A and B are shown apart, each in its own frame.
Chain A
Amino acid sequence: MTAAPSDGVELRVGRGTRVVRTVLIIAGALAILLGAWVMVDTVKPKSIWGLLTWLIGAVIIHDGIISPAVVAISVVMRRAGRKVPGGVLAIIQAGVVVGSIFTLVVVPEIIRKAKIPKNPTVLPFDYAPRLALLWAAIAVIVGLSVIVYLRVRARRASKLA
């Protein structure tokens, strides 16, 4: 974890930028106020408290659990994979990311379906086996990509040698 090789740059804020910036911030603040007004106007106070718990919960789950977990997994993978070429790690990580976001999107469907849908045309598929198949497909694609990557790398290395 080295420092950046460059000393870094300072930002320049021109006059035009300052004007646009002011306009955006004022317009944005007004839109937030409009949203707050619509909220107070149409949603019961008790429900707004409920929403607040969800908003705070979302930040806690993201910033307090998911993001640190991603940092930890990434560090552990790099440590464990010291002797593994960086490209292989990157391919595996990309596969895990794709699978994880799909899982986040599909798991609520599985939960909802398990709670007996109101009508059979909502959530018509068996989402759990499909998700498992997706992970299997990702594993196959990751495996093939690693093989191709290693072959190309070996060929390049032998050409250089």
Chain B
Amino acid sequence: MRELMYGLRRSMTSPNRNARTAVAVGRLLGLAFLICLLTGLYSHFLQEPASWMRFPTRPVSLYRWTQGIHITAGIACFPLLFAKLYAVFPQLFQWPPIKTPLQVLERASIALFVAASLVQIFTGLLNTFQYYPWPFPFKQVHYALAYVIIGSLAVHIGVKLPVIQRYWRARDSYDENGDFIPLADDIVPPSRGHVARERLAALDYDADALRDPDVVFPAEISSAVVESRPPRGFVGRIFDWIDRTPEVEKKTSRRGFIAAVGGTTVGLVALTGGQSITALGPINVFAPRKNGIGPNDLPVNRTAKAAQVLETATDPSWVLTLMRNGEATTFSLDDLEAMPQSAESLPISCVEGWSQMGHWTGVRLRDLVAAVGATETESLRITSLEKKGGYRVTLMGREYVNDPTTLVALQLNGKRLDIDHGYPARMIAPGRPGVLQTKWLSSIEVIA
């Protein structure tokens, strides 16, 4: 069994599969995970705030940044995670598999960490284009797994801390020949066949020529000759075949590895970042979203058809109902249009990562709620016409209600709101996720 593990580990020897690579890639991956966690928590609490929480409304594009970074860092995790797992793959084949009781926990935590990370970035990616081919709810699982992942990352860093310290710097990791300095525990001895071949080569014998049964050789090398020959048995032969594979040149191999991982990371960010980073728009090749398309020149997340509002939103008798202290005041579309109109540039920033600046015209929310007597300390419960959905009814904190840029928008990019963008009227506030920019407004209730 031990020989089998050694054989497996020899077969995957590479100048890049070592603790130094794991530390160097791990630092980047850990940073990406941390960025994803913090931006993710920000997004989570924007959507499900505790009652005492208040959020900044400036810069108006704050959420564009945090969520764009969340998704972009998440995409960058693909090459980094695979590079990390590539670097440590031989560690899977240790013998004995468990040396101390603590290692049971260590291995279990790594298994959890790897599994949760793979599922997290893959389902996160698919969520960016509304694809959910799995038997669990995305939002809740993504949130819970985030804690599991950051927790198992902390455990992993704790367990590996001495290794991380040992290989933190490149100059402590390689000897003067540029060879990796391994841990004594990690050394895999060369195979007997390999040792034998080296011994024969040192004595100027050609090991392959000695395989010919007719060749006569001195008795003192006979044990080496026997051991240099391919072993019997299928597995033995395969390992022997791999063992004879020429080694790669370490410098070239390392450069290739860095080029591959760096190239993929930069390439993925560059070719998908355009969905939220305006400057990358022209090279948006693979992102699930493209800026500037759709009705009102803006992409749509949930269509009027999907929200089942095609009839209610186009009903001529539509009114927006404002409620405060049990009293209801209604505003027809004509009423809203007759009020003073304000124009603001505010972005639509989706939880799925895409975002785009929009130019909105409509009634200042502050003015509208003041018309029904609301004070500055009150917040709102906003209801949409949509039949169902997690965001049909949402709360809006007073920081957004009082913000002068928050509008009940009637126009977008110079034209009347398209029905897919929330006709007859929608909410648009600074620094909030798109799901909270309620479309197809039905009622606004002023609450304490």
A39 contacts B144, C-beta separation under 8 Å = yes
B198 / chain A contacts, CB cutoff of 8 Å: 2
Q: Which residue of A lies closest to B165 (CB)?
A: A17
A13 contacts B162, C-beta separation under 8 Å = yes
Distance of A22 Cα from B158 Cα, bound (Å) = 7
Say if the beta carbon of B180 comes within 8 Å of chain A. yes
B136 contacts A75, C-beta separation under 8 Å = no
CB proximity of B88 to chain A, nearest CB, Å: 10
CB proximity of B191 to chain A, nearest CB, Å: 7
B256 / chain A contacts, CB cutoff of 8 Å: 87, 90-91, 93-94
A86 contacts B253, C-beta separation under 8 Å = yes
Sort chain A's interface into a size bin: 35 or more
Distance of A23 Cα from B151 Cα, bound (Å) = 12
A2 contacts B194, C-beta separation under 8 Å = yes
B407 / chain A contacts, CB cutoff of 8 Å: none
B135 contacts A50, C-beta separation under 8 Å = yes
Main secondary structure of the interface of A (DSSP, over half): helix
B125 / chain A contacts, CB cutoff of 8 Å: 105, 108
- Segment from B292-300, B393-401, B438-446 that makes contact with A: B292-300
Interface residues of A in 49-96 (CB under 8 A from B): 50-51, 53-56, 58-59, 62-63, 67, 70-71, 74-75, 78-79, 82, 86-87, 89-91, 93-94
Chain A CB count within 10 A is highest, among B111, B186, B241, B264, for B264
Given A1-B10, A1-B242, A125-B290, A47-B116 contact (CB < 8 Å): no
CB proximity of B105 to chain A, nearest CB, Å: 9
Interface residues of B in 144-192 (CB under 8 A from A): 144-159, 161-163, 165-166, 175, 177, 179-191
Distance of A27 Cα from B272 Cα, bound (Å) = 35
Say if the beta carbon of B327 comes within 8 Å of chain A. no
- Give which listed residue, B11, B134, B166, contacts A11 with CB less than 8 A: B166
CB proximity of A136 to chain B, nearest CB, Å: 13
Given A6-B179, A102-B267, A112-B144 contact (CB < 8 Å): no
6 closest A-B pairs by beta carbon, nearest first, are A31-B151, A50-B135, A90-B256, A28-B154, A24-B158, A35-B147
Q: Which residue of B lies closest to A81 (CB)?
A: B246
A90 contacts B78, C-beta separation under 8 Å = no
Given A32-B147, A122-B129, A11-B78 contact (CB < 8 Å): no
A54 contacts B119, C-beta separation under 8 Å = yes
